[in-house]
A = this chain, B = another copy of it.
């Protein structure tokens, strides 16, 4: 139930910091022993290993892993890792970045669940920074560690919760949650934006919520107890 980060370059490093912040278990693989030393010094579990070799992926526990990030510098090597990892564990969620937009389709066909194109993302965000600066500022604010630490999270409604098949408004009011429910993602994948207070949540639904971290944690405890 851990994550594997292949490559500790600029992308892999930032992904690893994010896992660390979230207290999620993960292991870093990199061919370069200096980069691995850097990861270790930051308190991460890291191995000098070539992620394009099946043996190394096995050593990193790919068979029981939850997800993998393919963040080597070349699209070809990431494609290779994705094919190998998906063969060793078909249930693994695999995400990657691509330098050339045209390579994205190939990586998706190789089994990548999500493919990011950093340059395209950066372009859109630069335009957004001029078109709607306060939205961006607000989203940054949800990322920074100062201020009220507002963030977005997904909360799963489990079979145990008392709120299964009861209206959403009741859940939020009775707990003075201070949380905004942006959407409900039904088990089938259907997404309902801005669900009304009389919306009945069911087991297996995900609530897409925004709020201060302590409020979200409180709500998560209620939903999973």
Contacts and interface: CB of A to CB of B under 8 A. Distances in A.
Q: Which of A122, A150, A185 has the most CB of B within 10 A?
A: A122
Interface residues of A, number: 70
A41 interface: no
A68 B135 CA distance: 18
Interface string A123-135: 1111111111111
A18 B131 contact: yes
Nearest to A101: B10
A182 interface: yes
A152 interface: yes
Given A182-B138, A211-B194, A125 B121 contact: yes
Contacts of A120: 10, 14
Interface string A166-205: 0000000000001110110100000101100000000000
B10 A71 contact: no
